Structure 1
Amino acid sequence: MMESVELVIFDMDGLMFDTEMMYLKFAPGAAKDLGYNVKEDILRKTVGTNHKWALEIFKAEGYENFPFAEFWKILDKKYSDYFDETGVPVKKGLFKMLDFLKSINMKMAVATSSRRVKAERLLNESGAMKYFDLTMYGDEVLNGKPDPEIFLKTADNLKTEYGKCLVFEDSINGIKAAHSAGMIPVMIPDTIEPTEEVNKIIYKTYSSLEDAIQIFNKE
């Protein structure tokens, strides 16, 4: 199957950068600043999707009037302060994978639920941006993961058949989106382990991007 792959699509948060842990760390405090006590299990449901879908999840959980605009502003400030102080938290094996794929002339893209302003800072400051043929952001699609829109749009822009796209994801929402798009879903779990249901649609699971390089070497 790997011989047919023409495009590798990367999620960003939790896969390339250790930012989903930051979300789960900072989000409860941001909600409390606004007078809300949001349980971690609800926050985990929003991992891997965009702001629009996260809002729908909050509403379904009884937070109909949750002030999302203010919530994201507080989170963005916390993220920015963290990056200013510590730099971009790059995940293990990211650049080994990127260098390997570049060496075999593989097309690469980012398809992230994050908004452009946040994602571009991470990609540029980490030095990863230069590797990618295309970047697609959560504020450039109508429907967030698990809807496949962002993956389909990415493949369409790079004129690649969906079945010839391999997707690296860390979230359940992302894996479901890749599967729905007819692509090859490969999971590298971060904050959430795959469920039994999700395991049925994952092609392979690895502990890190470095570990995942073997998918190209052994098939």
Structure 2
Amino acid sequence: MTKVEGVIFDMDGLLFDTELIYYRSTQKVADAMGFPYSRALYQKFIGVSDEEVQGNYHEIYKGHGKEKVDEFIRLAYEDTYQEFEAGNVPLKEGVVELLTYLEEKNIPRVVASSNVRSTIDLLLKNAEIRHYFDDIISCENVRRAKPDPEIFQVALARLGTSAEKTLILEDSYHGVTAAHTAGIPVIMVPDLLEPTKDMEEKTLNILTSLKEVPGFI
């Protein structure tokens, strides 16, 4: 690709090792409430908006009744957020090194996450990396979640760069698809989801760590 003038970061599973925390908290609550749950089910919803995930839970567990499903969602969220507040969220390998490299090269950086702004702010603050980012785009800033490209279109406008000179970093299928649809080059750094042939075709490259990204900038 041409010289990179801006980088858009996903957050969950890319900057932070949050996906396992989400899964473990949800599994713990599901077990306590007698809801059938599994890692395979969780992985179906990686990169999906909270609204869509909750809608799926209501459909999957409708036999348990709406109130019990609402309680399941609430308790899983509360357990997860307690982990976040306690600072029990490790950064993914190479995050600080890449952000430092981009800062030294004066390449603007933004976060474009399907998460809520309060959670994004909490995680970035606790990890002491908020200052590396010029802007944050959250689910509150868009009407349609990934795989719709809207969040990346908003991020691109905030950066003020052209699509061909911008790089997106993603870990999820929905995120890669959104980037591809937006016409913005994307590198996938897989987390819990193994890359597929479709992902290979839609990405600039698939890397094992953010440490490898400077080689493409």
TM-score where L is the length of structure 1: 0.88
Q: Residue 17 of structure 2 corresponds to which residue in structure 1?
A: 18
Amino acid at match of 2:9: F
Of the structure 1 ranges 158-167 and 67-76, higher mean CA displacement relative to structure 2 is found in 67-76
Paired residues of 1:52 and 1:144 also in contact (CA < 8 A): no
Q: Counterparts in 2 of 1:133-212, with a 5 A limit?
A: 133-212=134-213
Q: Counterparts in 2 of 1:50-69, with a 5 A limit?
A: 50-58=49-57, 62-64=60-62, 69=70
Paired residues of 2:171 and 2:189 also in contact (CA < 8 A): yes
Paired residues of 2:116 and 2:139 also in contact (CA < 8 A): yes
TM-score where L is the length of structure 2: 0.88
Paired residues of 2:84 and 2:122 also in contact (CA < 8 A): no
Paired residues of 1:184 and 1:203 also in contact (CA < 8 A): yes
Amino acid at match of 2:196: T
In structure 2, how many angstroms separate the alpha carbons of the residues matched to 1:38 and 1:194?
23
In structure 1, how many angstroms separate the alpha carbons of the residues matched to 2:2 and 2:128?
27
Residue identity over aligned pairs, in percent, reads 32
In structure 2, how many angstroms separate the alpha carbons of the residues matched to 1:112 and 1:59?
24
CA-to-partner distance for each residue in 1:145-167, whole Å, 9 max, x for gaps? Answer: 11111111111223222232211
In structure 2, do the counterparts of structure 1 residues 53 and 80 end up closer, same or farther at CA, with 3 Å as the change threshold? closer
Q: 3-state DSSP class of the match of 1:79?
A: helix
Q: How far off its partner does 1:195 sit?
A: 1.2
Q: Residue 121 of structure 1 corresponds to which residue in structure 2?
A: 122
Q: How far off its partner does 1:36 sit?
A: 2.2
Amino acid at match of 2:159: L
Q: How many residues align?
A: 214
In structure 2, do the counterparts of structure 1 residues 68 and 204 end up closer, same or farther at CA, with 3 Å as the change threshold? farther
Q: How far off its partner does 1:207 sit?
A: 0.9
Q: Residue 101 of structure 2 corresponds to which residue in structure 1?
A: 100
In structure 2, do the counterparts of structure 1 residues 195 and 40 end up closer, same or farther at CA, with 3 Å as the change threshold? same
Aligned-residue RMSD, C-alpha? 2.1
In structure 1, how many angstroms separate the alpha carbons of the residues matched to 2:199 and 2:109?
24
In structure 2, do the counterparts of structure 1 residues 101 and 171 end up closer, same or farther at CA, with 3 Å as the change threshold? same
Q: Residue 130 of structure 1 corresponds to which residue in structure 2?
A: 131
In structure 2, do the counterparts of structure 1 residues 56 and 195 end up closer, same or farther at CA, with 3 Å as the change threshold? farther
Paired residues of 2:8 and 2:112 also in contact (CA < 8 A): yes
Q: 3-state DSSP class of the match of 1:166?
A: strand
Q: How far off its partner does 1:84 sit?
A: 4.7
Q: Residue 110 of structure 1 corresponds to which residue in structure 2?
A: 111
Paired residues of 2:61 and 2:69 also in contact (CA < 8 A): no
In structure 2, how many angstroms separate the alpha carbons of the residues matched to 1:57 and 1:167?
28
In structure 2, how many angstroms separate the alpha carbons of the residues matched to 1:111 and 1:209?
16
- Runs of 5+ consecutive residues of structure 2 not aligned to the other structure: none
